[in-house]
Amino acid sequence: MTRSPEPAWVVLIPVKRGDIAKSRLTGVTRRQRTELARAFPADCAAAVLACERVHALVVVTDDEVAGETLRRLGAQVVPDEPDAGLNPALQHACAHARENHGPVPVAVLSGDLPALRPPELSLALDRARQFTRAFVPDQSGDGTTLLTAAAGAQLDPRFGADSRRQHLASGAHQLDEHGLASLRRDVDTPHDLQHAIGLGVGRHTRAVLVRHGLAPALH
């Protein structure tokens, strides 16, 4: 008997307005910070859309510039509703995804992963399939870069301060982190950015760095 194919994932990425994002990314001008804040999710989205496990990408943002770039890449863009903070916006986006794509498994991904590799995302999603809800912690071990919910399961996002602990307390399973370096490398500080550059950032981030002379060692 032929086994039915497993449903592909719908990924949700929240994107903060570029003019107020990444306040901890010091040592750059406000314009450079805004451009980087928009480049990170563009590279993240490109990696998601190249991932063979992903059926669709839904981006939650009120940043019109970032939204247009992400639409051109192939993402569906929805506004930040009900404008009550990140977690309610993700719940709204999850409902939107399932209204449009059926009872699919859903994954929330941090948008500031400029070095994300599609095979690493595939690996994490494969590991998540055996759990109703699961997550991957960020490089610091305090935050969360990926939260998943099986088809029909509540997403119940707990992003914010100490989100790793919050997701554990909510019953989500912490996934094996082996082989997920680019998935865990979110960028908030200059140190984070240098680490991401070492892993290999995508073309949008690279273009900003080169244009402003921020990473002369890049080839």
* pLDDT level of residue 3 (50, 70, 90 thresholds): very low
What is the rounded distance in angstroms from the CA atom of residue 219 to the CA atom of residue 200?
11
pLDDT at 83: 84
pLDDT at 123: 98
Structure tokens at 193: 């950015």
Phi first, then psi: give them for residue 47, nearest 5 degrees: -65, -40
In tens, the pLDDT along 115-162 reads 999 999 999 999 999 999 999 999 999 999 999 999 999 999 999 999
Structure tokens at 66: 């970032």
Structure tokens at 102: 């059926």
Structure tokens at 213: 């002379």
In tens, the pLDDT along 165-203 reads 999 999 999 999 999 999 999 999 999 999 999 999 999
Q: What is the CA radius of gyration of the chain?
A: 16
Q: What is the pTM of this model?
A: 0.94
pLDDT at 216: 62
Q: What single letter denotes the amino acid at residue 181?
A: A
In tens, the pLDDT along 150-161 reads 999 999 999 999
Block residue for tokens 């865990």:
184
Structure tokens at 1: 């008997």
% of the chain exceeding 70 in pLDDT: 95
Q: Tell me the H-state helices in 78-173.
A: 86-101, 118-128, 163-169
pLDDT at 1 over 90: no
Which of residues 2 and 197 earns the better pLDDT score?
A: 197
* pLDDT level of residue 219 (50, 70, 90 thresholds): very low
pLDDT at 4 over 60: no
In tens, the pLDDT along 16-39 reads 999 999 999 999 999 999 999 999
pLDDT at 57 over 70: yes
* pLDDT level of residue 218 (50, 70, 90 thresholds): low
Q: Which helix (H) or strand (E) holds 202?
A: none
Block residue for tokens 């930040």:
80
